[in-house]
Amino acid sequence: MPYILSAAHIDLPYRLSQESAREFAREMFGSSFKDIDRLLRAFSNGQVQNRYLSTDIEWFKAEHSFEEKNRKYIEQATEFGALAIKRCLDNQQFLNQKIEPSEVDAFIYISSTGLATPSIDARIMNMLQFHQHVKRIPIWGLGCAGGAAGLSRAFEYCKAFPKAKVLVLCVELCSLTFQKNDTSKSNLIGTSLFSDGISCALVSGDEVDRQNMSKLSCIPNILATQSTLMPDSLEVMGWDVKNEGLFVVFSKDIPTIIKNWLKPNVEAFLRQNQISFRELDRFIAHPGGKKVIEAYEEALGFDAEMTEKSLDILKEYGNMSSATILYVLEQFMLEQTVRGELGLAAALGPGFSSELLLMRWE
């Protein structure tokens, strides 16, 4: 089965404490909400303690056009995306030897926070020495589910081409979508949760020599994947695209939807692969927020230990949309693992949708 050979992320240059983020929100929105102190409790209750931004917080206090913000997205996504790729292909915690960009067969680029044509993958290929015949697969609009979906598409590519190495790059600069004049509660809650993140993973086919390339005794093999779309749920999560840019759509019902919808979805997936909940050793979950993690635990019957790494990433980095799950995966790969352990990766996104991956460490 295709396996994940390496993963990496980069810490963006501006680290922001949750206290500073809360005071920024008070300055931006204080005059718009009579009950601002009550609403700002979301910054304390959401478990986020820090986050990283690609741009200094002072920049967001001024007005910026959609054009200006998107231009910055293109510049930063290209620069920081290239750095994440180099780190992934030369991650000495996972690899015995550096892998050159020219050895990559397919490049999957995931994002939902900016627009570019030519896409960011093409721009990065002009910076790094990729082969000119690399299959480029830019995917836009999957939001928080995008990182898991990227791994799933890489798995399918490597099933078809077992000698392939597939790069999955997630770039989310959520801060550049900030709307200082949007006084909706969704925008305020989004400000308390979302941050910037860039992560990368390398998925390889069965016929790639893992023995000589991997430094780890056990690495995650992807056994199966499942994509699911909930009918008539377009209003749950996403963007409202206006002249000023991207306005967040974020339903308060997401935790309830997870509790009611996710368990039968996961049960059916595991049953197809003849696996029970009791056999799962690891849960590689996208931490959408504290309430989302609690909904995972309640819906799937997991204890806090199963979601500990996801919560740790949420505390230090916030919700980085698609990139977040690769941060969590990297932490699991760094941990000593017993051969044969089973893991379930899960992420939820606009649609409303879910992406699931079943993994076994071998």
Per-residue pLDDT of the chain (362 residues; tens, 9 = 90+): 899 999 999 999 999 999 998 898 888 887 777 778 888 888 888 789 999 999 999 999 999 999 999 999 999 999 999 999 999 999 999 999 999 999 999 999 999 999 999 999 999 999 999 999 999 999 999 999 999 999 999 999 999 999 999 999 999 999 999 888 887 777 888 888 899 999 999 999 999 988 888 989 889 999 999 999 989 888 888 888 888 888 888 777 787 888 788 888 999 999 999 998 889 999 999 998 888 888 888 888 888 899 999 999 999 999 999 999 999 999 999 987 888 999 999 999 998 899 999 999 99
CATH 3.40.47.10 region(s) of the chain?
3-213, 220-361
Q: Is 314 exposed, middle or buried (0-12, 13-18, 19+ CB in 10 A)?
A: buried
- With a CB cutoff of 8 Å and minimum separation 6, the contacts of 111 are 77, 120, 138, 139, 140, 146, 170, 171, 172, 322
| Distance in angstroms (rounded) separating the CA atoms of residues 236 and 233 | 6
| Distance in angstroms (rounded) separating the CA atoms of residues 130 and 82 | 11
Q: Sign of the CA dihedral 147, 151, 156, 160?
A: positive
144 labelled catalytic: yes
| Distance in angstroms (rounded) separating the CA atoms of residues 343 and 4 | 13
| Distance in angstroms (rounded) separating the CA atoms of residues 215 and 96 | 5
- With a CB cutoff of 8 Å and minimum separation 6, the contacts of 232 are none
* CATH superfamily of the 220-361 domain: Thiolase/Chalcone synthase (3.40.47.10)
CB 188 within 8 A of CB 42: yes
User: Hey, what CATH class is 3-213 in?
Assistant: alpha beta
| Distance in angstroms (rounded) separating the CA atoms of residues 52 and 276 | 37
- End-to-end CA distance of the chain: give it in Å, rounded: 10
| Distance in angstroms (rounded) separating the CA atoms of residues 356 and 151 | 10
pLDDT value at residue 238: 83
| Distance in angstroms (rounded) separating the CA atoms of residues 96 and 353 | 37
Specify the pTM: 0.94
Please identify which of the residues 88, 144, 158, 174 carries the catalytic annotation: 144
Helical packing angle, 290-300 and 254-272, nearest 10°: 40
User: Tell me: the pLDDT tens digits for 240-249?
Assistant: 888 888 888 8
Q: Sign of the CA dihedral 350, 3, 219, 340?
A: positive
